[in-house]
Amino acid sequence: MFRAGGLKVGAGLSISPRATTLLQQSRRAAESYWAAAEAPPLGQVELLASLKAAGFGRDLSQQQTPNVARLAALPSAATFSVPGAGKTTEALAFFTLRAVPGDRLLVIAPKNAFAAWDEQIRECLPLTEATFERLRGGRDRIAAALGNDPGLMLMTYQQLPRVQDLIAKHLAQYRTFVFLDESHRIKAGVTGASGRSVIELAHLPVGKLVMSGTPMPQAVSDLIPQFQFLYPEISAEEDTVVDLMRPIHVRTNKKQLDLPEVTRNLVSLPMAPVQGELYELMRLEVAREASALLDIQGRQTFRALGRSVSRLLQFVSNPSLLAAQIGFAHHDLLAAVLAEGEGPKLQYVLKRARQLSREGHKVLIWSSFVRNVEYMASRLADLGAVYIHGGVDAGDEDDADTREGKIKAFHDDENVRVMVANPAAASEGISLHRVCHHAIYLDRTFNAAHYLQSEDRIHRFGLPRDQKTIIEIVECTRTVDETVRSRLGFKIGEMARALNDSSLAPDPIQIDPIDVEAEDFEEYTTGLQLDDVRALVELGRSS
């Protein structure tokens, strides 16, 4: 750049000592990636001896040991192991091995992951007296907490943009490692507040780690912001980021954990007659919006289409959700739909939950819509149904109204036979596999992370080899449900190829169709990408 402008040091150009230092740091950081990519893993004997000498209290598993050996050789790295494989343990081992006395650790994570970090720090580092300081409660409280120079810190992705300057000042002043838990949450990169804030801090930590079981839930491009955080000096594009990420990430997949296979049953239901008529009108409207979006591709147009797709998914799952929507264009026809009943999908799920309960099983029901979650829980109140969505606060497990209280009741109370949950709020930080082995999806969205992580609530490490896990995916035939299934399968397959994980490859792994007659049966995010929009245009062309 200087040469192009005809500039030379000492002839119209001077570089300050501080600028020189920063340029040298940037060059060293860029070189560190290429050195790290070729670095051999730490020897396992040396690894285990170092952890023991540092007072690391947990024995690494057969899968974790080589992962940590690789991570320990890298200044910045990624662990993309599946839920239940012990990413938090790997992360704390990485910190233990690479930190020097006095180094701090900041973990940016969803709020529902905080308890796991508290638990793991006690088990992995039992000799430390430090506990995680939660950075929350507004600027003044966070500034006061940082003023005490805590050794361990936790904060949410939502909080970071509000106090980015305070965090930047602290990272510049003290040697600090920064870990991103559920790092796919920054997949929007600089176009999202959280991603922008994280990436703008990327040059300050002395060590970095990204952690996610679903690092690219929508597309390969989801990896780019995560790589930018790790190595901001290295340019990454959609066609290069997988190769760039490959030598600096580790992953334990479900096959390596020797988990029993999942049985997935696809329950296909026809819509009720008048429901089908109204659906056709709504489908064509969504297809026209999708076609317009491909021409305009404006942010507002995209949001409007997201709301329309949300209505379409709601209508297929439970037509009554549209009854309260002001300005809905087809109220007379909707009234006729409601006269037909609750809708075939909802009828099936409620009936199936009762059948499974009579057979002695606990049941987990998933829906992406808050009103569906609450409605199904009320309809199944005689089975002790509890529910979780974004409006349910975290708290003490002895409080029955909190998220933790509801989880404890589902675990421990034999009279609580059903849990109804929203994947956006409950697909992370919950383990139900010891008491529940049946899940039913009333609906799904285009968000592959929500789907995969929600499945993992009942299919994760710790299951006996002979335990059957059964998942039922309920769809209405010839509807947007089938488009969602196709797009989820594509996204899961793309992630399988990028992570070299054959356990993800099928769509979404093997699905066994079951035909059932119809009579037998918050802010919402659809997870839409442009390719999903193109699929919706094709939906409009179907007959």
314 with 484: CB under 8 angstroms? no
Q: Which domains does the chain have, with CATH numbers?
A: 13-250 (3.40.50.10810), 262-541 (3.40.50.300)
How far is residue 327 CA from its own chain's centroid? 33
Helix, strand, coil in percent for the chain, rounding step 5: 50, 15, 40
- What angle is formed at CA 108 by the lines to CA 103 and CA 113, rounded to 5 degrees? 115
Instruction: Read off the amino acid at residue 412.
Output: D
Query: Which residues are CB-neighbours of 457 under 8 A, at least 6 positions away?
Result: 364, 421, 426, 427, 430, 431, 432, 433, 436, 439
In the numeric block, which tokens belong to residue 295? 């021409």
Q: How many CA atoms lie within 13 A of 185 on its CB side?
A: 21
Among 384, 503, 479, which residue's Cα sits nearest to residue 435? 384
Spatial CA neighbour of 72 closest among 45, 103, 42, 43: 42
- Residue 285 near residue 537 (C-beta atoms within 8 A): no
Cβ atoms of residues 213 and 41 within 8 Å: no
Helices 331-339 + 273-296 axis angle, to 10: 140
Q: What is the DSSP letter of 11?
A: B
pTM for the predicted model, two decimal places: 0.80
Q: How far apart, in whole angstroms, are the C-alpha atoms of residue 453 and residue 149?
A: 35
Contact 220, 494 (CB under 8 A): yes
**3-state class of 141 per DSSP?**
helix
| Residue 102 falls in which region: left (phi positive, over 0), alpha (psi -120 to 50) or beta | left
In angstroms, the CA 460 to CA 448 distance is 17
**What tokens does 245 get?**
């990420």
* Beta pairing, strands 262-269 & 469-476: parallel
Other CB atoms within a 10 A radius of the CB of residue 395 amount to: 12
| pLDDT in the model for residue 486 | 93
pLDDT at site 509: 35
Q: What is the pLDDT of residue 134?
A: 95
DSSP-derived 3-state class of residue 347: helix
Amino acid identity, position 18: R
Q: Backbone phi, then psi, for 152, in 5-degree steps?
A: -130, 130
Rg (CA), the chain: 25
- Is there a contact between 193 and 81 (Cβ–Cβ < 8 Å)? no
* Mean pLDDT (10-residue bins), the chain, 543 residues: 52 62 60 82 92 93 94 94 89 96 96 88 90 93 96 96 96 97 92 93 96 87 95 92 93 87 93 95 89 75 84 94 80 91 95 97 96 96 95 86 92 96 82 93 92 89 88 96 93 84 48 41 57 78 53
